[in-house]
């Protein structure tokens, strides 16, 4: 089914899984790299943008993650980080996003002048600048941070979780772990998750992308994750008979019964090999079975995408209509790391009226 791209851009959207260091503009990477003398594998912003997409189309998460070496390299000063964060907000707003959460790892931005704390402050200030610019244009948007700990460090600590708690009233909405999934189970960060639970701060866990159902089980049962980053391979815990009737395994049934949100990112999942194509992506199967499915970009630069494009792909490849777009948007709004009052205002004052008009 074809969904009107212009309408999709206008409709209010909610982005839950979007990496800041994966959302830079190619022109910004090109300009900042020239300023610091960082070598790039392309000689123009246009060719650089193409390179990121081609390099990310490796089919493995490990090679996909290598593309971040270039974006992280240009995010080692407060001024550059503020610019990247400001532009990130502007790009979301231009695509109709009204609420977003951007995740990033403070430990990766400390090769120069920044400390983890000053990096959080720089992102905070850049996001605020972006929201102010958008408000002046009549674009209302709220973007919060999720602080990410890299899961493949030798000795996990609670440093990033503590930083998230310190800045919880300054735009940090929660915590995440990301990076190489295979061989680095989420329970390595159990002290961080326990600390966050004790202080009532929410968190999401990358799971079920590079490894299977056991990763989702550990994230949910051992780490008590509020949301699952990706979770695409939970479909491996579902079997279908000859008539297409589904039988859910214990992990899949638990996730569905508790309505634990899945942060699915079709284009990215295809690039990392978690799905063979958008048409074969299990998002529609999981949606039809009643899982709380949400849609995000993951990394806009690497996937050459925007959230409106991801919805358009669901229409063309999986038959989604506007009612389906509305359902996934509401799922995301209801799953946001945002207080109840603001979530309800977002739904009743912004999302529902816009879709009521669009659906006639």
Give the DSSP H or E segment for 117.
helix 116-136
87 is a catalytic site residue: no
User: What CA–CA distances, in Å, run from 107 to 29, 167, 246, 267, 301?
Assistant: 20, 16, 43, 27, 21
305, 73, 230, 50: CA torsion to nearest 10 = 30
| 203-207 sheet: strands from edge to edge | 13-19, 97-104, 142-150, 172-178, 203-207, 227-230, 262-264, 293-295
213, 218, 219, 222: CA torsion to nearest 10 = 160
Helices (H) and strands (E) in the chain — how many of each? Answer: 17, 10
* Cα–Cα dist 328/322, whole Å: 10
Q: How many CB atoms lie within 10 A of CB 347?
A: 18
Catalytic residue among 209, 214, 236, 352: 209
**Which residue numbers are catalytic?**
209
């Amino acid at each position: 089914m074809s969904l009107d791209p212009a309408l999709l851009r206008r409709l209010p959207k909610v982005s839950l899984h979007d990496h800041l260091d994966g959302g830079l503009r190619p022109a910004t990477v090109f300009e900042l790299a020239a300023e610091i003398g960082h070598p790039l594998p392309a000689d123009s912003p246009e060719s650089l943008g193409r390179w990121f997409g081609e390099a990310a189309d490796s089919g493995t998460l490990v090679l996909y993650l290598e593309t971040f070496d270039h974006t992280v390299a240009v995010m080692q000063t407060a001024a550059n980080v503020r610019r990247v964060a400001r532009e990130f907000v502007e790009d979301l707003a231009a695509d109709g996003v009204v609420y977003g959460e951007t995740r990033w790892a403070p430990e990766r931005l400390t090769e120069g002048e920044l400390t983890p704390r000053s990096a959080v402050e720089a992102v905070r200030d850049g996001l605020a600048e972006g929201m102010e610019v958008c408000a002046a244009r009549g674009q209302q948007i709220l973007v919060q941070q999720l602080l990410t700990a890299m899961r493949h460090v030798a000795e996990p600590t609670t440093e990033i979780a503590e930083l998230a708690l310190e800045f919880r009233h300054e735009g940090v909405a929660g915590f995440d772990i990301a990076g190489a999934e295979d061989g680095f189970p989420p329970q390595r960060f159990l002290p961080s998750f326990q600390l966050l639970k004790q202080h009532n701060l929410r968190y999401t866990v990358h799971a079920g992308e590079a490894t299977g159902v056991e990763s989702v089980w550990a994230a949910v049962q051992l780490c008590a994750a509020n949301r699952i980053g990706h979770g695409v391979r939970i479909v491996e815990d579902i079997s279908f008979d000859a008539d297409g009737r589904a039988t859910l395994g214990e992990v899949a049934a638990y996730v569905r019964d508790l309505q634990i949100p899945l942060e699915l990112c079709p284009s990215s999942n295809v690039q990392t090999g978690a799905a063979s194509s958008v048409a074969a992506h299990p998002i529609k199967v999981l949606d039809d079975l009643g899982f709380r499915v949400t849609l995000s970009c993951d990394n806009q630069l690497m996937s050459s995408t925007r959230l409106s494009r991801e919805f358009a792909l669901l229409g063309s490849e999986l038959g989604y209509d506007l009612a389906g777009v509305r359902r996934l948007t509401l799922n995301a709004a209801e799953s946001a790391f945002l207080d109840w009052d603001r979530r309800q205002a977002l739904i009743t004052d912004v999302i529902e009226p816009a879709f009521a008009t669009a659906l006639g």
